Amino acid sequence: MNTDELGDPDARSFLVGDGDWPFNGFIVRRQAKIFAYANICPHRRHPLDLEPHAFLIDNGNLIRCTSHGALFCPETGVCLSGPCAGHRLMALSCRADPDGSIRVSAPETLRDCYLPE
């Protein structure tokens, strides 16, 4: 993915790997900064976007899990309100190269990154 493909604010999901457990993550661009998280809500481990790429609300100020409404800080992944308040999304190392390419370090499969209960 390239920064040219993202607005600001904007968010996009991505998959890495294949088979039964491809890794599902998402990238957030906000105020020219890039963040990446596993697409796993710490509440019930659902993907956050029931509608593809629908992560951001409030003009990009919040990430929302559409399952039960948990709200997360885009910069830290901390849940600010909802059923998992105080927990956080699994952050992924990421950067944007000078040519705009976004590089994310993600596990190969979801099986490798399930969060503790």
Q: Which of 36, 74, 82, 96 binds ligand FES (CB under 6 A)?
A: 82
Is 88 one of the binding residues for ligand FES (CB under 6 A)? no
Of the listed pieces 4-12, 64-72, 91-99, 107-115, which binds ligand FES according to CB under 6 A?
64-72
Judged by CB under 6 A, does residue 11 bind ligand FES? no
Neighbours of 5 (CB within 10 A): 12
Name the segment binding ligand FES (CB under 6 A); options: 2-10, 50-58, 65-73, 93-101: 65-73
Query: At 96, phi and psi to the nearest 5?
Result: -105, 125
Q: How far is the CB of 77 from ligand FES (least distance, A)?
A: 13
Q: Which two tokens stand for residue 55?
A: 């992560």
Residues contacting 98, CB < 8 A, separation 6+:
none
d(CA 110, CA 44): 14
For residue 25, give Cα distances in angstroms to 8, 70, 87, 98.
18, 17, 17, 22
Of 42 and 96, CB closest to ligand FES: 42
Which one of residues 68, 95, 103, 111 is an interface residue with ligand FES (CB under 6 A)?
68
